Homo-oligomer: A and B are copies of this chain.
């Protein structure tokens, strides 16, 4: 145990030292380092696939979807390389002055973006997170400590080695490090390194995230779950509503921004639900409805109280008929997860009231919840989606990996 503690502590200290140099590195140096990573990934395809094979060999007990996420083939390596080119093209957020003003005493005060310092990423299964997290941290001037899952340990290790080798001529090698042991204790020690690690981002199942939140002395940005709603208002355009509902539920049901509950105003339910129900069922969706829904859609199963809280991540949809906008908002507040909620309406005031009163990380009018995503929003990249309001709320891009410091330009001013 003592040994693992020292190992983690040494890694954390090295990361902190690297971050001091990386934080003031220029955009050119950082972009050269990223470009070199892309080149080495290209050159070392063979090695990467070989190490990935070792992980796959040990993966026999895993589900087919987990094995699928684990695979690194040429197409996935191409995607990683393309992702790096995209990040190179993004603006460097570090050093941007977001505001500047002058005080009556002549002091000029500004807020300048700086990196957070050292970021710890604790994740499961998909090895491409190793590259994604690494390049976003580098671009935003943060050193990163990676802690991937045991099922991808060989893949994660080779990808980290490639990054370290690639960057060392431009920025400190220790800007990217991986915890080289799969002992669970290592996570515990990481979470206690509050002097050296500035932020922890867990990416994985709810159990992992809860463990991290409960044991961390370091601030954590987390993403629990997405129970996203679409509310079809009495003044909805039926055609838009149908398109949005089908898309939000079926375009990719296994992700956090897919719709899990459909709310429909009672005055439009008799017209809308028969059509929507038919289309959803035709696409294999199982409907679990309130009594009124079941009257209109006979195929619907009864929804229980727990259905309203459920993140199905599957072709299942809870449907409820509501009496008013207020009832819809109340439902979203009570059962939702503050992720993404959308209203379909042609009424201007209803739309604005929904925007004002629903405080989820994304609130939409006449759009599919599936758009709630860093790339779709034009942030250029995404390190995760935060469902807590502190520091970042919603999709997180490069800017969210920075903070601001106050810069003060004086001319000898002193306080009276």
A185: min CB distance to chain B, Å: 19
Beta-carbon contact of A240 and B403 below 8 Å: no
A187: min CB distance to chain B, Å: 17
CB-CB < 8 A to A414: which residues of B? 243-244, 246-248, 251, 367-368, 370
CB-CB < 8 A to A405: which residues of B? 359-363, 393-394
CB-CB contacts of A240-283 with B at 8 A, as 1s and 0s?
A: 10011011100100000000000000000000000000000000
If A24-B356, A403-B390 touch, whether A377 touches B109 (CB-CB below 8 Å) is yes
Chain B residue with minimal CB distance to A240? B412
Out of B363, B391, B415, which one reaches A408, CB within 8 Å? B363
If A361-B405, A408-B363 touch, whether A333 touches B217 (CB-CB below 8 Å) is no
Out of B395, B403, B408, which one reaches A393, CB within 8 Å? B403
Bound CA–CA A20/B365 (angstroms): 21
If A405-B362, A408-B371 touch, whether A390 touches B391 (CB-CB below 8 Å) is yes
Bound CA–CA A199/B391 (angstroms): 11
List CB contacts (< 8 Å) of A387-416 with chain B. 388-395, 403-415
Beta-carbon contact of A217 and B219 below 8 Å: no
CB-CB < 8 A to A362: which residues of B? 405-408
CB-CB < 8 A to A44: which residues of B? none
Beta-carbon contact of B217 and A415 below 8 Å: no
**Does A130 lie at the interface of the complex (its beta carbon under 8 Å from any beta carbon of B)?**
no
Beta-carbon contact of A367 and B217 below 8 Å: no
CB-CB < 8 A to A360: which residues of B? 405
Can you tell how many copies of this chain the complex includes? 2
Which of A217, A394, A415 gathers most chain B CB within 10 Å? A415
CB-CB contacts of A341-380 with B at 8 A, as 1s and 0s?
A: 0100000000000011101111111111011100011100
Interface of A is mostly: mixed
Instruction: State the interface size on chain A (CB cutoff 8 A).
Output: 73
Beta-carbon contact of A333 and B20 below 8 Å: yes
Out of B103, B367, B378, B390, which one reaches A390, CB within 8 Å? B390
**Does A95 lie at the interface of the complex (its beta carbon under 8 Å from any beta carbon of B)?**
yes
A147: min CB distance to chain B, Å: 19
List CB contacts (< 8 Å) of A1-46 with chain B. 20, 23-24
CB-CB contacts of A92-136 with B at 8 A, as 1s and 0s?
A: 000100000101000101001011110000000000000000000
Chain B residue with minimal CB distance to A101? B378
Beta-carbon contact of B390 and A395 below 8 Å: no
Beta-carbon contact of A413 and B368 below 8 Å: yes
**Does A214 lie at the interface of the complex (its beta carbon under 8 Å from any beta carbon of B)?**
yes
Which of A24, A116, A359 gathers most chain B CB within 10 Å? A359
A89: min CB distance to chain B, Å: 16
A351: min CB distance to chain B, Å: 8
Out of B95, B213, B365, B389, which one reaches A116, CB within 8 Å? B389
If A389-B116, A390-B219 touch, whether A378 touches B408 (CB-CB below 8 Å) is no
Bound CA–CA A23/B389 (angstroms): 14
**Can you list 22 A-B pairs with a CB-CB distance of less than 8 A?**
A20-B333, A24-B357, A107-B367, A198-B389, A214-B217, A251-B415, A355-B407, A362-B408, A363-B407, A365-B410, A366-B412, A367-B408, A367-B412, A367-B413, A370-B414, A371-B415, A372-B406, A372-B408, A390-B390, A393-B403, A393-B404, A393-B405
